[in-house]
């Protein structure tokens, strides 16, 4: 089928994603607050939001942030947590495979779990305007950058964040992120246990934050092997 890429499609996608973008904005406020606690300036906070645009990955990066910055282990950890996007965005090929590389890769830059779901739903309904997907991503991106900045500014106004329990915000966010990732004992329990066991056992043996990278890789490998065995049986 013929696929278009229009300004009207971008506008419709932006409007469709606004309710979700408001929810993402709450998470953006938390990210900005944590970024301030880690010592990032307002400019650095904005730059990370604008370029990385991945909530879970950015929060993980902040948790690993220390002096000197562990660039290699931080990069690998972020790559592991974002590998799912390679599989997810492949499903958009019927749309983005027909609009040229610039428009396709430009749209994919703004991919997040929420707007991907909105875009896939529109595509499966028979939508033929791939600009819709870019619009959904722009909605989330704009709210994410804006609220990240607001959270960073707010953080400077709180002299003692621990008195308000704000020093626990990052941990609370990661716990909340785990809930939708849980797919039941059959699929999630074994990989999660493997990741936790490897990370815990290597905590005192590996320098810096490499124990987290090792745990993530172990969980991913166990999960992939478990899925392969299930498909073969």
Question: Average pLDDT of 33-50?
Answer: 91
The count of other CB atoms within 10 Å of the CB of residue 206 is 15
Q: Which residue has the tokens 């370029």?
A: 51
Which contiguous run of DSSP H or E holds residue 2? Answer: none
Nearest CA-CA partner of 35 in 69, 74, 61, 70: 61
With a cut of 60, say whether residue 23 has pLDDT above it.
Answer: yes
Q: Which is higher by pLDDT, 105 or 163?
A: 105
Q: Dihedral, CA atoms, 17, 20, 22, 27, nearest 10 degrees?
A: -130
Q: Are the C-beta atoms of 192 and 219 separated by less than 8 Å? A: yes
Domain boundaries, the chain: 7-164, 183-232
Q: For the whole model, what pTM was predicted? A: 0.74
62 band by pLDDT with thresholds 50, 70 and 90: confident
What's the rounded Cα separation, in Å, for the pair 20 and 169? 21
CA atoms within 13 A on the CB side of 193: 8
What's the rounded Cα separation, in Å, for the pair 72 and 208? 11
The count of other CB atoms within 10 Å of the CB of residue 195 is 21
- Could you tell me the two tokens for 164? 């308000």
As a whole number, the mean pLDDT across the chain is 83
Q: Are the C-beta atoms of 215 and 192 separated by less than 8 Å? A: no
**CA 26 → CA 52, 159, 168, 227, distances in Å?**
18, 21, 16, 34
55 band by pLDDT with thresholds 50, 70 and 90: confident
């Amino acid at each position: 089928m013929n696929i278009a890429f229009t300004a009207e499609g971008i506008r419709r996608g932006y409007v469709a994603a606004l309710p979700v973008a408001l929810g993402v904005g709450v998470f953006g406020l938390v990210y900005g607050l944590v970024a301030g606690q880690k010592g990032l300036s307002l400019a650095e906070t904005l730059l990370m939001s604008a370029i990385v645009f991945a909530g879970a990955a950015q929060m993980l990066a902040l948790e690993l942030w220390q002096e000197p910055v562990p660039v290699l282990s931080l990069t690998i950890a972020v790559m592991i947590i974002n590998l799912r996007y390679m599989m997810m965005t492949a499903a958009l090929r019927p749309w983005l495979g027909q609009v040229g590389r610039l428009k396709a890769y430009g749209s994919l830059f703004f991919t997040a779990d929420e707007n991907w779901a909105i875009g896939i739903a529109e595509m499966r309904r028979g939508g033929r305007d791939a600009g819709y997907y870019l619009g959904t991503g722009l909605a989330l991106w704009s709210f994410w950058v804006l609220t990240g900045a607001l959270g960073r500014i707010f953080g400077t106004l709180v002299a003692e964040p621990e008195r308000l329990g704000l020093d626990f915000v990052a941990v609370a966010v990661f716990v909340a992120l785990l809930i939708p990732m849980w797919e039941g004992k059959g699929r999630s329990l074994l990989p999660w246990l493997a990741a936790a066991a490897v990370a815990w056992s290597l905590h005192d043996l590996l320098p810096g934050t490499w124990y987290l990278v090792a745990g993530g890789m172990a969980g991913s490998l166990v999960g992939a092997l478990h899925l392969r065995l299930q498909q073969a049986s």
